[in-house]
Amino acid sequence: MLLTLVNIGPLKEARVELGRGFTAFYGPNASGKTTVARALRLLALMNMGAANAGELMELINRVKREGKIVYEDGGSVLEISCALEERGAWLKFGGVLGGERRVYANDRLESIDRPRIAMFWILHDSVTLYGIKAQVGRPYELADLLAPSVLRGLVGEGKALGEFLDFYEEFLAKVNEYLEAFSGHALVYRDGLYFRRSIHLFHPNQTAKGVRRMALIIAATLLAEAVSEGATPVVYVEEFESLHVDYLELLIEFLRRRSAAVVAETHSGFVLRRVYETKSKRDVRYYIFKDGAVYTEIDPKLFIREIAAMVGVDML
């Protein structure tokens, strides 16, 4: 998927490609990384027929008061231009939609079938799903994703019980395959979520947060691939650098091989360097957010704050 943003949030103009595999968004706070995620969420909500004009209006740069978002995927193009007015806004649609109209914040935006995405937005210890059958805006924790009753509500529509149980067994086995390889832990669901190491069972509260978060990222990514038939699966991970560097390296290798488009938001030069070192493999890419634009050129000055933090210098 290609996404073009003009005067959206802090971004003056940005064009990013979200292909299968792993993409890193690097930059300081308020540089536009989360703005891209919000633009993707808007498309997923339009796919569901659940987007309000106010969600689009909030994305428009408050100084320019006029902005544009273009989504391109699989030959389908959707262009939305929005000009803020004293009350409401004026919308103009291009691509698969046509026409223009005046809207107010509570007005429902058009429902759109193409381009279509299924978005999994991972916060620190939960994931919110957009574009698939789910409770919009509800955060799902790891225990939810692996609870048969919850998971069947997400993926079991039209599946016989036996078919769903086969899916569940295969899904849990895949999660454990990677989790055990990375950390030596495995997941067991017995009226609640437990972690197993050797013959010992641990409750989540007794398991390292990094292991739990890695399990959540693995499970959400595999689930996105499994339930996104007819849509482009997009996984957006906030605070990727919160994990141990060993886990980061292993996850980058895992995520770059996925059919989902996985985006990791990071402030870490380590993540950027690791992606840069493997960019020739075509299933990894990176974008640097700075001064209202995105770049792929790496300047040593980018890391001045990280270096200062390591040596204990206050850059403020």
Instruction: Specify the CATH number for the domain of residue 3.
Output: 3.40.50.300
Q: Does 21 share its domain with 124?
A: yes
| Residue 277: band (very low, low, confident or very high) from pLDDT cuts 50, 70, 90 | confident
Q: What percent of the chain has pLDDT over 70?
A: 93
CA 197 to chain centre: 30
- Listed residues 227, 246, 262: the one ending a domain: 227
Q: How many whole angstroms separate alpha carbon 234 and alpha carbon 171? A: 18
Give the per-residue pLDDT at 138. Answer: 84
Give the per-residue pLDDT at 230. Answer: 86
- Listed residues 177, 201, 227: the one ending a domain: 227
Give the per-residue pLDDT at 279. Answer: 77
Q: Does 258 share its domain with 273?
A: yes
Range of 288's domain? Answer: 1-131+230-316
Q: Does 18 share its domain with 100?
A: yes
Neighbour-count burial of 299, counting CB atoms closer than 10 A to its CB (0-12 exposed, 13-18 middle, 19+ buried)? exposed
Number of domains in the chain: 2
- Listed residues 212, 227, 242: the one ending a domain: 227
Q: Does 41 share its domain with 96?
A: yes
Q: How many whole angstroms separate alpha carbon 238 and alpha carbon 178? A: 21
Q: Measuring CA to CA, which residue among 258, 211, 260, 212 is closest to residue 232?
A: 260
Question: Which runs of consecutive H residues, i.e. helices, occur in the chain?
Answer: 33-47, 53-57, 142-146, 148-155, 161-183, 209-227, 245-256, 269-277, 304-311
Q: How many whole angstroms separate alpha carbon 271 and alpha carbon 273? A: 5
Give the position of tokens 């395959």.
177
Most confident of the ranges 30-44, 96-110, 144-158: 30-44
The partner residues of 6 in beta bridges, in order of sequence, read 13, 68
For the CA atoms of the chain, what is the radius of gyration?
Answer: 20
| Residue 293: band (very low, low, confident or very high) from pLDDT cuts 50, 70, 90 | very high
- Model confidence pLDDT, tens digit, residues 192-204: 889 999 889 999 8
Cβ–Cβ under 8 Å, residues 296 and 269:
no
Q: Does 115 share its domain with 242?
A: yes
- Model confidence pLDDT, tens digit, residues 167-199: 999 999 999 999 999 999 999 987 788 999 988
